[in-house]
Chain A
Amino acid sequence: MSKKTIMLVCSAGMSTSLLVTKMEKVAAERGIDSEIFAVSASDADNNIESKSVDVLLLGPQVRFMKAQFEKKLDGKGIPLEVINMQDYGMMNGEKVLDQALRLIDEAK
């Protein structure tokens, strides 16, 4: 299984960084080789270019950027979704990781 790179985007990258910690923990428990990181909306573009991102998840408060990102990712085959509200509110690392893995799977 190849390494999964998961990028989370929110306004300042603050709230999602907590989520990253939780997701990393679950990934480690399950033995999934992954790189999970959170960035602010303005840093997202650089990271799409520099890292080979497998999936992009948006915090619900920046869901308005979805269309923008869809355009940017167009043709790159990188799936994109807004994080489920309940999971986000609870910072549920497991569920969000599942969401990310499902998206990677579907994109294949």
Chain B
Amino acid sequence: MLSRKKDILTYLVKQDTPLSAQEIALAMELNRANVSRYLNDLHKEGHIEKRSGRPVLYQAKSRSSALPELTTQQEAFHKLVGYNASLKVMIQQAKAAVLYPPRGLHTIIFGETGTGKTLFAECMYQFALESQVLSKDAPFVSFNCADYAQNPQLLFGHIFGVKKGSYTGATEDRAGLMHQADGGILFLDEIHRLPPEGQEMLFTFIDKGVYRPLGESNQTQTASVQIIGATTENSEVLLDTFNRRIPMAITLPPLAERTIEERYELVAAFLQQEAQRLNQKIVIEREVLLAFMLYPAKANIGQVQRDLKLVCAKAFLHYRTHQTDYLRSTQQDLPLAVQKGLLLVKEAPERLNQLVDRHKSHFSFVPMSQKIAINENVESDMSVYNAIEERVEEALKMGLLKEIELEGFIQNNLPHYFNDYLEKLSISDIHQELIPIDIRKVTEKLYDFAEKKLERTYPSKSRFAFSLHLQSAIERIKEKRPIVHPDLNSVRKNYSKEFQVAIDLSAMIEQQFGIDIPFDEIGFITMFLTLEAQEPEKAAVNQVGVMVIMHGKSTASSMLETAQDLLDTKVGVALNMPLTVKVKEMYETVRQAIVANKTLYEHGLLLLTDMGSLNAFGGMLAQELGLAVRTLSMTSTPIVLEAIRMASIGRQLEDIYQNCRMAMTLEESINEPFQEEKQPALIVSCFTGEGVAKRVENRLEKVMDTTHLTIIPLQFLQLEKMKQQIDQLAEQYTIKAIIGTVPVDYQNIPYYTAYEAFDRKKMVEIKNQVEEWPLDKISQTLTGTLKEVGSISRLVENLQQVIQQLEVDLYLVLPIEVKVGLVLHLAFLMESMKNGKEVRTFSDKENYLMKHPLIVKKLSELLIPLEEDYQLSIPQDEQAYLIQMIVENQLTN
């Protein structure tokens, strides 16, 4: 028996390529089942490597006797694409962190989603093993802090351990990850999700090497662990905290900053890996390769890999159902977002042609024995293929479907396997955190169901809005508060199809949450289902005619063409008036053009002209033909664009006219300040006026100064009614913006989705849009007091711009009072600089500035023009004080 095993090992050592059990059994004339058993034993004993795939392949580990040693010292980082280019500096940092005596430096890795932080940390561990900083059996413990983020206590206990009796259910002492990682590395992904207590304890450990398990009050514990943290977060506050406490910071570049060579290598390596995994050749069209190398991938390498995986899965499906010789992929198989990469070929660097041979139309990836590490997690990565395989077999067994139908059948279901990542792409952290997982899951289920039934698709934003609504509806029902839909009957009548589906959905919700859904709530659900259907339906019906008439051979037609092309519409008619044509003749041409197509102008005509006598046509046409006509002269392309856009979505003549006119005056007098005595207000709206709207309101209250801003929740039932309500409110308030679940495009009031209100960057934008600065009052007070700084109102305006720019660039959320205070402070500061007053010092300035590199850089950039303008310089100590006021005063949520 023993000799058989040895024989197999000897045989394997001689082989260059990995083999399956079947192949080995054949070659050695042995029973396959026995061979499998020996192979498993050998694998357990660590003599051979097992390569998961179809079929499973085996290879001897110690091929060193036959081949030169591949794994020489310190190879760990070489498997990273770009190790000697974009990642060179980071790898030097990482090596330094690992080798730093006695036990390495604690490290934090910054980088956007999908830049490879986890893999990088794993490489650091490998490197530590290779360089013998860690012993061979040193642990690498990896944990994602987001996993228990909902339960800080659990999270703390999981990392630091639990003392018996610290809470009900803690019946015995339990060791945490820190203990498990003793002598090795603890990798904490999404470290910013650690609750404050956890962070404190972690920092204590970093400073002193000791920690305390949950519920332990006396004894501290020690562990020899190198911490590697990772975070996608890049807000100044977090950067600060971590930079201050964790000695080594490594920032991985986003995909867009990688070289084109690296991008090629990433794509090629991944395809190679898939070929390996499936043990089959993959052939792709030149376009596929180009698209993957060029398309903008928001979620970086991770996204490219997922999209590649999707394409490979499609290819695999075709390969399985059509029994072709190898896997192939063409441009048509690509997701649209990836195909769009082809639009960027012209802008790509010259080097692209060297990488992707211009004369080759196809590129092949053939399985080889070489090992490539992109994602080590081979087992789980087979799951997609396995799932496809199972479905194919299942369906074939039933004999119900022909091959071709089968492919379509499975392809339709394929997206489900990718739900996870689609979800990750569309919903950012804050959104996920906001909504409990069960609500999110149900929402997905409901929408998938509704999409199928109603044969339409809903964007992820409306799903998000619905899940917010659902959450509050459930709360309401549980608390037995009434739900009343004011217009249930007309909803039922006008949207009977959606209403039917809403009933089905309610049944699903009832079952899931064990509640009774009242009839009125079904009305609200119906309205969510009609969300996307509302605007366009109206559009086609009463369109206003738009006519562009201008002097010159082709001025009108080319202007209109531009607008039509941009909007992808055919709305609008252009009439050119060459200079040789008399005005009278031209009028006749216009008149006939209208008469010939009278139905086009039933709902009114908007004339867009350039100058002179053309402006008079409107009145004459109105009289002669009995039409409603409005004329806008001195038209420019943006105005044509706006007119066409509004006409194509069915806006009324008067509405379009007023909007365009406003746009024109705006263009003219962009700098004229707008005087308004009314109180500013913000409308938040949703179907109930209580669900989503309330949540948005709560969110806004945290960051806005509500003593000077009124937040008005409105119930949205019908667009028309909503407009009336807005009109009424407008008498009393200046409506600064509308935030809600249904887009409202009215009176040029900026609209933001509920989704955006939870996005930090967007929030800063909304906030700046809404906030009213008492600028003229500030100027009034300062006039006469400040004498060295010229026009006070100009100074105050300049200062306001600096502060606002700072906010926008750094996603800072500062209370308006602080901003006003800062403006005043700066104004006085500049005056005293002018007067040559002595400078005060900021203690420990260098250290403080070092901790806030981003703000320091941005602030000094923004101050430079100001300093030049006013011929003074703001000393570093004063800048440090400014930074302190900004950093310490910002709202973190």
Q: Which residues of A contact B (CB under 8 A)?
A: 10-12, 14-15, 18, 40, 42, 59-65, 82, 84-86, 88-91
A-B CB proximity, top 8 nearest: A61-B821, A85-B817, A64-B888, A60-B821, A14-B828, A60-B817, A91-B781, A15-B824
Interface residues of B in 582-627 (CB under 8 A from A): none
Tell me which residues across on chain B come within 8 A of A60, comparing CB atoms.
Answer: 815, 817-818, 820-821
B514 lies within 8 A of chain A by Cβ:
no
Assess the A59–B828 pair: CB atoms within 8 A: no
Q: When the two chains form the complex, which single residue of A15, A82, A90 contacts B828, counting CB atoms closer than 8 Å?
A: A15
Assess the B785–A12 pair: CB atoms within 8 A: no
B832 lies within 8 A of chain A by Cβ:
yes
Assess the A12–B829 pair: CB atoms within 8 A: yes
Tell me which residues across on chain B come within 8 A of A14, comparing CB atoms.
Answer: 825, 828-829, 831-832
Assess the A90–B821 pair: CB atoms within 8 A: no
Question: Which among B158-166, B433-441, B458-466, B772-780 touches the partner chain?
Answer: B772-780
Assess the B781–A63 pair: CB atoms within 8 A: no
CA distance A84 to B820 in the complex (A): 11
* Also in contact, A82 and B817, with CB within 8 A (given A15-B824, A63-B889): yes
B885 lies within 8 A of chain A by Cβ:
yes
Assess the A12–B881 pair: CB atoms within 8 A: yes
B705 lies within 8 A of chain A by Cβ:
yes
User: Can you list 30 A-B pairs with a CB-CB distance of less than 8 A?
Assistant: A10-B821, A11-B825, A12-B832, A12-B840, A14-B828, A14-B829, A14-B832, A15-B825, A18-B828, A60-B815, A60-B821, A61-B818, A61-B822, A61-B825, A61-B889, A62-B889, A63-B815, A63-B821, A64-B885, A82-B817, A84-B817, A85-B705, A85-B816, A86-B708, A88-B817, A89-B781, A89-B820, A89-B824, A90-B781, A91-B781
Tell me which residues across on chain A come within 8 A of B782, comparing CB atoms.
Answer: 91
1/0 contact string of B769-808 vs chain A (CB within 8 Å)? 0000010011011100100000000000000000000000
* Also in contact, A88 and B824, with CB within 8 A (given A14-B829, A40-B840, A64-B889): yes
Tell me which residues across on chain A come within 8 A of B829, comparing CB atoms.
Answer: 12, 14
Chain A interface helix/strand/loop/mixed:
helix
Tell me which residues across on chain A come within 8 A of B827, comparing CB atoms.
Answer: 15
* Also in contact, A89 and B778, with CB within 8 A (given A15-B828, A61-B821): yes
- A12, A15, A65: residue with the most chain B Cβ atoms closer than 10 Å: A15
Tell me which residues across on chain B come within 8 A of A59, comparing CB atoms.
Answer: 821, 824-825
User: Closest approach, in angstroms, between the C-beta of B165 and any C-beta of chain A?
Assistant: 34
Task: Beyond the given A63-B889, A65-B888, please list 14 additional residue pairs across the A-B interface where CB-CB is below 8 A.
Answer: A11-B885, A12-B829, A12-B881, A15-B827, A15-B828, A18-B781, A60-B820, A61-B821, A62-B885, A62-B889, A64-B885, A85-B821, A86-B774, A90-B774
Assess the B817–A63 pair: CB atoms within 8 A: yes
User: Closest approach, in angstroms, between the C-beta of B785 and any C-beta of chain A?
Assistant: 6
User: Closest approach, in angstroms, between the C-beta of A69 and any C-beta of chain B?
Assistant: 13
CA distance A15 to B830 in the complex (A): 11
- A10, A42, A89: residue with the most chain B Cβ atoms closer than 10 Å: A89
Tell me which residues across on chain B come within 8 A of A65, comparing CB atoms.
Answer: 888
User: Closest approach, in angstroms, between the C-beta of A20 and any C-beta of chain B?
Assistant: 12
CA distance A11 to B883 in the complex (A): 11
Tell me which residues across on chain A come within 8 A of B818, comparing CB atoms.
Answer: 60-61, 63
User: Closest approach, in angstroms, between the C-beta of B884 and any C-beta of chain A?
Assistant: 8
1/0 contact string of B685-719 vs chain A (CB within 8 Å)? 00000000000000000000100100000000000
Assess the B825–A90 pair: CB atoms within 8 A: no
User: Closest approach, in angstroms, between the C-beta of A61 and any C-beta of chain B?
Assistant: 3
User: Closest approach, in angstroms, between the C-beta of B423 and any C-beta of chain A?
Assistant: 38
User: Closest approach, in angstroms, between the C-beta of B806 and any C-beta of chain A?
Assistant: 14
CA distance A19 to B879 in the complex (A): 23
Tell me which residues across on chain A come within 8 A of B708, comparing CB atoms.
Answer: 86
* Also in contact, A90 and B889, with CB within 8 A (given A60-B818, A85-B817): no
1/0 contact string of B866-893 vs chain A (CB within 8 Å)? 0000000000000001000100110000
User: Closest approach, in angstroms, between the C-beta of A90 and any C-beta of chain B?
Assistant: 5
CA distance A75 to B828 in the complex (A): 34
The residue in chain A whose Cβ has the minimal distance to the Cβ of B705 is A85
- A10, A12, A82: residue with the most chain B Cβ atoms closer than 10 Å: A12
Tell me which residues across on chain B come within 8 A of A91, comparing CB atoms.
Answer: 781-782
Tell me which residues across on chain A come within 8 A of B885, comparing CB atoms.
Answer: 11, 61-62, 64
Q: When the two chains form the complex, which single residue of A10, A63, A82, A85 contacts B825, counting CB atoms closer than 8 Å?
A: A10
User: Closest approach, in angstroms, between the C-beta of B843 and any C-beta of chain A?
Assistant: 8
Tell me which residues across on chain A come within 8 A of B820, comparing CB atoms.
Answer: 60, 85, 88-89
CA distance A61 to B819 in the complex (A): 7
CA distance A11 to B824 in the complex (A): 11
1/0 contact string of B818-861 vs chain A (CB within 8 Å)? 10111011011101100000001000000000000000000000
CA distance A15 to B820 in the complex (A): 12
Tell me which residues across on chain A come within 8 A of B705, comparing CB atoms.
Answer: 85
The residue in chain B whose Cβ has the minimal distance to the Cβ of A61 is B821
CA distance A55 to B654 in the complex (A): 59
CA distance A62 to B888 in the complex (A): 8
CA distance A84 to B821 in the complex (A): 10
The residue in chain B whose Cβ has the minimal distance to the Cβ of A64 is B888
Assess the B828–A12 pair: CB atoms within 8 A: yes
Assess the A11–B881 pair: CB atoms within 8 A: yes
Assess the B824–A90 pair: CB atoms within 8 A: no
Tell me which residues across on chain A come within 8 A of B881, comparing CB atoms.
Answer: 11-12
CA distance A62 to B886 in the complex (A): 9
CA distance A78 to B71 in the complex (A): 71
User: Closest approach, in angstroms, between the C-beta of B761 and any C-beta of chain A?
Assistant: 23
Tell me which residues across on chain A come within 8 A of B774, comparing CB atoms.
Answer: 85-86, 89-90
The residue in chain B whose Cβ has the minimal distance to the Cβ of A14 is B828
